[in-house]
Amino acid sequence: MRIGIVCYPTFGGSGVLATELGKALAQEGHAVHFITYRQPVRLNEFNANIFYHEVRVPEYPLFEYPPYELALSSTLVDVIIKYDLDLLHVHYAIPHASAAYMAKQIVKEKTGRDVPFITTLHGTDITLVGKDKTYEPVVTFSINESDAITAVSNNLREETYKYFNIKKDIQVIYNFVDINRFDKKPIDAFKKAVAPKGEKIMVHASNFRKVKRVCDVVRIFAATQKEVPCKLLMVGDGPERPVCEEAINKLGLENEVRFMGKQEQMEEILAISDLFILPSEYESFGLAALEAMAAHVPVLSSNAGGLPEVNIDAKTGFLFNVGDIDTAAEKAILLFKDDQLLEQFKEDAYQHALTFNINNIIPIYEKLYNRFCRCG
Q: Would you say 12 or 298 has its CB closer to ligand GMT?
A: 12
Among 3, 5, 6, 14, binds ligand GMT (CB under 6 A): 14
Q: Does 207 bind ligand GMT (CB under 6 A)?
A: yes
Q: Does 175 bind ligand GMT (CB under 6 A)?
A: yes
| Closest residue to ligand GMT: CB criterion | 123
Number of separate helices (H) and strands (E) present in the chain: 15, 13
Q: CB 224 → ligand GMT: shortest distance, Å?
A: 24
182 vs 293: CA distance, rounded Å:
9
Q: CB 36 → ligand GMT: shortest distance, Å?
A: 13
Near ligand GMT in 284-303, by CB under 6 A: 284-287
Q: Let me know how long the chain is.
A: 376
Adjacency order of strands within the sheet including 200-206: 257-261, 230-236, 200-206, 275-278, 299-302, 317-320
Are residues 149 and 168 in contact, defined by beta-carbon separation less than 8 angstroms?
Answer: yes
Q: Would you say 285 or 345 has its CB closer to ligand GMT?
A: 285
95 vs 67: CA distance, rounded Å:
11
Q: CB 105 → ligand GMT: shortest distance, Å?
A: 26
Are residues 253 and 222 in contact, defined by beta-carbon separation less than 8 angstroms?
Answer: yes
* Count of residues in contact with ligand GMT, rule CB under 6 A: 20
Quote the DSSP letter at residue 319.
E
Select the span of 35-43, 119-127, 188-196, 330-338 touching ligand GMT (CB under 6 A): 119-127
Q: Is 354 helix (H, G, I), strand (E, B) or coil?
A: helix
Select the span of 9-17, 55-63, 179-187, 250-258 touching ligand GMT (CB under 6 A): 9-17
306 vs 310: CA distance, rounded Å:
7
Among 17, 234, 325, 328, binds ligand GMT (CB under 6 A): 17
Among 4, 9, 13, 279, binds ligand GMT (CB under 6 A): 13
Q: CB 287 → ligand GMT: shortest distance, Å?
A: 3
Q: Does 92 bind ligand GMT (CB under 6 A)?
A: yes
For 114-127, b where at least 16 C-beta lie within 10 A, e where not — what string?
ebbbbbbbbbbbbb
Residue 324 CA: distances (Å) to CA of 210, 288, 290, 300, 352: 16, 21, 22, 12, 25
Q: CB 274 → ligand GMT: shortest distance, Å?
A: 22
Q: Does 211 bind ligand GMT (CB under 6 A)?
A: yes
Select the span of 40-48, 109-117, 205-213, 359-367 touching ligand GMT (CB under 6 A): 205-213
Q: Would you say 92 or 365 has its CB closer to ligand GMT?
A: 92
HEC states along 134-153? CCHHHHHHHHHHCCEEEECC
Q: Does 283 bind ligand GMT (CB under 6 A)?
A: yes
- List interacting residues with ligand GMT (CB under 6 A): 12-15, 17, 92, 122-124, 152, 175, 207, 209, 211, 282-287
